[in-house]
């Protein structure tokens, strides 16, 4: 079967969809709405019992000793870096292929992110590049479970142990995943999650840090509450008004009604992950024969959580570059996206830290080729088929 370029919506043809299918979207049901409504009718809207209940449920699901809820995934990263005591003069290794917040959290505390390159087949941090990035000033390593696939933590912990470095897992893509039978959330010294609407579960906005270190957890609970030694609920329980500021913190609290939504969503995480994996299998089967489309490889011993389904475009075999394919698929009504511009190429980092092209060539090459296809559990079978039809239509038109 062949296609004509004149059939493409980009060229005036009939699109596969009339309305745009987003790359990600929340899935809310009546139980979620009722959980929020119950809290709205209660005495506590923030810093109340729903926060601790959500934290306990999250810790149990991830196999972690402690979970600390905060206002966003970015706040989770910031709190984790603060708990490690990162400060001016310290370096933290960060993969180049990630959202800017992974590096920004280091800068917030006065540290310097040092960008490591990624594996060309998975776009996860490359252990060899991480090892080469270590200097006498290195104080920590951040691993990013890109697209929902856990990194090679055996290899990374071997490197970290040689140099006495803690590991932070930016697991914002990977809730519900696992590495060699161990759930994401229990893989690193500190594990950070996002509860943004496009993630596996949502609280509207929100984040969580998991850890087995009670000192880290205590530090982060103070940090999320202005650096105060107690929160409002603790003072109410003691019948006291007294608090002291013991650290420089932020207002990174998550409300009770957001925690109620998050806990309700957490009960459906297994179904959400199963649906994401089902969609990924359908994409795998349908796209494997199309020329110039290369999905990311999944490593051994990994249970992928599929926050994203990322393909790479080989322009020579496909017959068009990524920018053209992006425009063509958007015209067909498929809300493809790009994750991400390598952080070291952003103007802020180039101007302030002297980064730029050539530092991480694998990530830079991947950036020019990658596309994220729609992936969320609320997609119908018809939605999935529309994505496959559109990608096939564009591929055949250009090849």
Q: Under 8 Å CB-to-CB from 296, ≥6 apart: which residues?
A: 121, 122, 123, 147, 149, 310, 311, 312
**Which CA distances in Å does 338 have to 65, 87, 147, 323, 332?**
35, 32, 11, 10, 17
Would you list the DSSP string of 122-162? Answer: T-SBPHHHHHHT--TTEEEEEEE-GGG----HHHHHHHHHH
Contact (Cβ atoms closer than 8 angstroms) between residue 64 and residue 183: no
Residue 20 sits in the same domain as residue 125: no
Secondary structure class of 110 (helix, strand, coil):
coil
Say how many domains are in the chain: 2
Residue 329 sits in the same domain as residue 340: yes
Residue 234 sits in the same domain as residue 304: no
7: DSSP letter: G
Residue 50 sits in the same domain as residue 118: yes
Q: Which two tokens stand for residue 29?
A: 């049901």
Give the model confidence (pLDDT) of 150-187 as tens digits: 999 999 999 999 999 999 999 999 999 999 999 999 99
Pairing mode of beta strands 178-179, 302-303: antiparallel
For the sheet with 370-373, list strands across it: 293-295, 309-313, 370-373
In whole angstroms, what is the distance from residue 336 CA to residue 321 CA? Answer: 14
pLDDT band at 2 (very low <50, low <70, confident <90, very high): low
Give the model confidence (pLDDT) of 293-350 as tens digits: 999 999 999 999 999 999 999 999 999 999 999 999 999 999 999 999 999 999 999 9
Residue 253 sits in the same domain as residue 297: no
Domain-terminating residue out of 243, 266, 289: 266
Residue 295 sits in the same domain as residue 273: yes
Give the model confidence (pLDDT) of 199-216 as tens digits: 999 999 999 999 999 999
Q: Which two tokens stand for residue 41?
A: 């009718």
Residue 63 sits in the same domain as residue 117: yes
Residue 78 sits in the same domain as residue 173: yes
Ranges of beta strands (E only) in 240-308 are: 293-295, 302-303
Residue 323 sits in the same domain as residue 194: no
Give the model confidence (pLDDT) of 268-287 as tens digits: 999 999 999 999 999 999 99
pLDDT band at 232 (very low <50, low <70, confident <90, very high): confident
Half-sphere exposure (Cβ direction) of 17: Cα atoms closer than 13 Å: 22
Domain-terminating residue out of 230, 249, 266: 266
Residue 35 sits in the same domain as residue 60: yes
* Active site (annotated) includes residue 288: no
CATH number at residue 34: 3.40.640.10
Task: Give the structural domain span for 273.
Answer: 5-27+269-398
Which of the residues 4, 199, 288, 393 is marked catalytic? 199
In whole angstroms, what is the distance from residue 30 CA to residue 256 CA? Answer: 18
For the sheet with 112-116, list strands across it: 66-70, 207-211, 190-194, 167-170, 138-144, 91-95, 112-116
Phi, psi of 190 (to 5 degrees): -135, 135
pLDDT, residue 1, reads 42
Domain-terminating residue out of 220, 246, 266: 266
For residue 290, count other CB atoms closer than 10 A to its CB: 18
């Amino acid at each position: 079967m062949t296609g004509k370029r004149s059939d493409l919506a980009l060229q005036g043809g009939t699109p596969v969809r009339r309305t745009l299918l987003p790359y990600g979207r929340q899935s809310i049901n009546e139980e979620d709405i009722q959980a929020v409504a119950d809290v709205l009718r209660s005495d506590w809207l923030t810093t109340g019992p729903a926060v601790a209940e959500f934290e306990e449920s999250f810790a149990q699901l991830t196999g972690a000793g402690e979970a600390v809820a905060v206002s966003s995934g970015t706040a989770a990263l910031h709190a984790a870096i603060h708990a490690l005591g990162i400060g001016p003069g310290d370096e933290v290794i960060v993969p180049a292929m990630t959202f800017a917040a992974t590096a920004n959290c280091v800068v917030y505390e006065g540290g310097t992110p040092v960008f490591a390159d990624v594996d060309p087949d998975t776009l996860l941090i490359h252990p060899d590049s991480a090892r080469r990035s270590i200097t006498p000033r290195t104080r920590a390593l951040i691993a990013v479970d890109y697209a929902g696939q856990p990194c090679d933590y055996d290899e990374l912990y071997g490197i970290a142990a040689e140099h006495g470095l803690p590991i932070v897992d930016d697991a914002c893509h990977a809730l519900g995943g696992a590495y060699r039978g161990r759930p994401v959330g229990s893989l690193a010294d500190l594990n950070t999650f996002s509860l943004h609407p496009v993630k596996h579960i949502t609280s509207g906005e929100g984040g969580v840090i998991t850890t087995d270190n009670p000192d880290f957890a205590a530090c982060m609970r103070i940090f999320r509450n202005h650096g105060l030694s107690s929160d409002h609920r603790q003072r109410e329980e003691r019948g006291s008004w007294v608090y002291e500021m013991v650290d420089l913190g932020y207002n990174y609290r998550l409300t009770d009604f957001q925690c109620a939504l998050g806990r309700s969503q957490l009960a459906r995480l297994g179904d959400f992950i199963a649906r994401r994996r089902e969609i990924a299998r359908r994409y795998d089967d349908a796209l494997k024969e199309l020329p110039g489309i290369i999905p990311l490889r999944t490593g051994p011993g990994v249970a992928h959580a599929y926050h994203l389904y990322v393909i790479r475009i080989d322009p020579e075999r496909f017959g068009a570059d990524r920018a053209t394919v992006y425009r063509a698929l958007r015209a067909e009504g498929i809300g493809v996206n790009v994750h991400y511009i390598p952080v070291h190429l952003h103007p802020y980092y180039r101007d302030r830290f002297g980064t730029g092209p050539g530092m991480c060539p694998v990530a830079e090459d991947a950036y020019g080729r990658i596309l994220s296809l729609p992936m969320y559990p609320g997609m119908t079978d018809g939605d999935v088929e529309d994505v496959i039809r559109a990608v096939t239509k564009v591929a055949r038109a250009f090849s």
